Every structure is written in structure tokens, then in C-alpha cells.
Amino acid sequence: MFAAVGSTAAEPWKFHAHPEVWLLIAGIIAVGVYSVRVIGPKVVPVGAPVVTTKQRTAFVAGVLVLWTVSDWPLHDIAENYLYSAHMVQHMLMMFVAAPLFLLATPRWLADLLLADRSRPARAALWLTRPVPAAAIFNGVVILLHMPPAVRLAVQSGPMHYSMHLLLFLSSLLMWMPICGPIEERRLIAPAKMIYLFLQSVVPTVPSGFLVFAEHPIYKVYDHGPRLWGIGVLSDQQAAGAIMKIVGGIFLWVVIAVVFFRWASIEERKDRRPTIVRTATPLPDELTFENVSETFERLGPAPTEPVPRGPGQMGDPRLN
């Protein structure tokens, strides 16, 4: 199914069918259509939209991105020739496909899956908390970039797809506190910015090894023919740069978007007029006329009987 390592000529554009990918994409589309056409109308109030236009667009875009990274030609180039292409797969899967699928998920569907308070639902909700989600995601990223894992992914097609599935699921966890369908489980804007900044720090370690290593780290890619004349070290350095620079820039762009949206909301709050209501409007100037009018409006003060002690005039005991 895959090009033989060490062949005499590079054939990056030779078509290879991947029916397992087609079945996966077809299954995702079928689940999406069934959820919208069959399940949604039963749980969504009459007159309310089952999904919005933005959710439909995000779903279609997510499917296209996932199909692109999993099928020919990107998959074949990544598996047989260039580790930098492998890194492009990871970046698209982590930072584009995963958040798109979360943005495409309607709230009612998330409630059906996670709101039943069953043990799997409680476990899933716990995993989507910021600390576990970030720890799992970064742990998977480091694991999948270790030389034994890369070698296993290149030498075994099923393992390659399994590792991509693990990466995709951990990416969904990582993005849940940012753009998950359950709004009350999202972080507030300042916490989102700190959270995303931390996601850009951990990949610095493996990317640094790739960029500054003087020898090939992944021996499985150290073979001929070299695609487009790209040497193994240049390919390795390009992969590290993609991981750090491209991934970092994307995260910082998201941080900037979160910041400006938050700043815009806070500015609108500050511009709202403050209405102070008092029982009686206060005069601009305190004059004799204003004081007289106030006394006339209030009327005479209520009188109370004055208690008379022994020996005082009016005491009945003195009469």
C-alpha cells in the first residue's frame, strides 16, 4: 500500500488508495447527518434551529482538513519521504481540525453525550478540565515525537492511523476549555490567554532537538531517494521550525483574537450609561427658596405626647 523505502526513484505523486480513510470520513459524515436529521429534531424545541450556519460550515471544514491530512498525497509523502510533511499533518490535526469539530458541535448534542452523569460522562468532563487536558495533550505530543514512536508510525500503517487518532482526541481535550460546546465550562478570557500561552511552551523542547541536532534523530527517514533534493537534516530542521514557529504563531494569533474580543466587551461595558435613581432630585444650588419648598412639601413633623414625671405641671397627682 505504501511506497517501498529505499526505492530507486521518488514517486510522491503516485496515487495510492486508502479505503480505510474513505470509510472513516464517510462514517463521520454519516454520524453528523444522522445527528442533525434524526436526533436533533427530537430534542431541540420547536422553532429553534438544530444547527447554525456557522456550525455547518465548521463541520464541513473540519471534515475536509481531516481528510486532507489522512489521505493521499500528504499521508504518503509524510510516511515515505519527509518528516516535515508528517509535522504538517500534526499541526493541521491539532490546531485546525480539532477546534473546528468542537465549533461544529451543537450544545444539545454535547448535553446528550455528557450530561447524563454516568461514570463515562463524569470521566470525560474531568478530562476536559484545563489541567488534565493540557497535561494529556502535551504528554501525547512529546510521546509521538520520540524516535521509537516515529519509527513505529512509519513502518506500520495501522499504528500511524492509531497515533493520529490519539493525537486528535487529545487535541479535542486541549481545545475544550477554549471553544468547547459547553460554554460554562470554558475559561474566562484572561485564563484562556494564559492557557494557550502554556501550550506554546512545551513544544519548544522537541522542536529544539530537531532544529539543533547535528545528526538525524529519526533514522527511519534517513534513506534515499531524497524527495525534491531535501536532505535529511534539512527536513528535520524544517519539521522543528514548523512545530515551533508555525504552531506558536497560530496559538499567538488565537491569543490576540481572544484579547481583542475581551477588550472590546470590557470597553462596551464601560460605555454603558450609569443611571442613579433618587427619591427626590437634589437641587443644583442650595437657596432659601429651595429649603422652604422642601419643608412645605414634607409638611409639619409628627408630634408625640411628652411624658410627664412626678411634680411636673399637668401631673394628675398634683390636682
User: What range does the domain containing 123 cover?
Assistant: 19-271
pLDDT tens digits, one per residue of 53-103: 999 999 999 999 999 999 999 999 998 899 999 999 999 999 999 999 999
Please indicate, yes or no, if residue 163 is contained in any of the structural domains. yes
- The pTM of the full predicted model, rounded to 2 decimals, is 0.80
Please indicate, yes or no, if residue 38 is contained in any of the structural domains. yes
Please indicate, yes or no, if residue 14 is contained in any of the structural domains. no
Q: How many domains does the chain have?
A: 1
Peptide bond into 216 cis (omega under 30): no
Angstrom distances, CA of residue 113 to CA of 25, 52, 119: 21, 19, 12
pLDDT tens digits, one per residue of 90-108: 999 999 999 999 999 999 9
Please indicate, yes or no, if residue 161 is contained in any of the structural domains. yes
pLDDT of residue 312: 47
Give the torsion through C-alpha atoms of 52, 54, 55, 56, to 10 deg. Answer: 90
Please indicate, yes or no, if residue 306 is contained in any of the structural domains. no
Peptide bond into 73 cis (omega under 30): yes
Residue 206 predicted with pLDDT over 90: no
Is residue 297 very low, low, confident or very high in pLDDT (cuts 50, 70, 90)?
A: low
Torsional class of 306: left (φ above 0), alpha (ψ -120 to 50), beta (otherwise): beta
pLDDT of residue 299: 62
Please indicate, yes or no, if residue 6 is contained in any of the structural domains. no
pLDDT tens digits, one per residue of 224-269: 788 888 999 999 999 999 998 999 999 999 999 999 999 999 888 8
Please indicate, yes or no, if residue 33 is contained in any of the structural domains. yes
Is residue 138 very low, low, confident or very high in pLDDT (cuts 50, 70, 90)?
A: very high
Residue 296 predicted with pLDDT over 80: no
Please indicate, yes or no, if residue 291 is contained in any of the structural domains. no
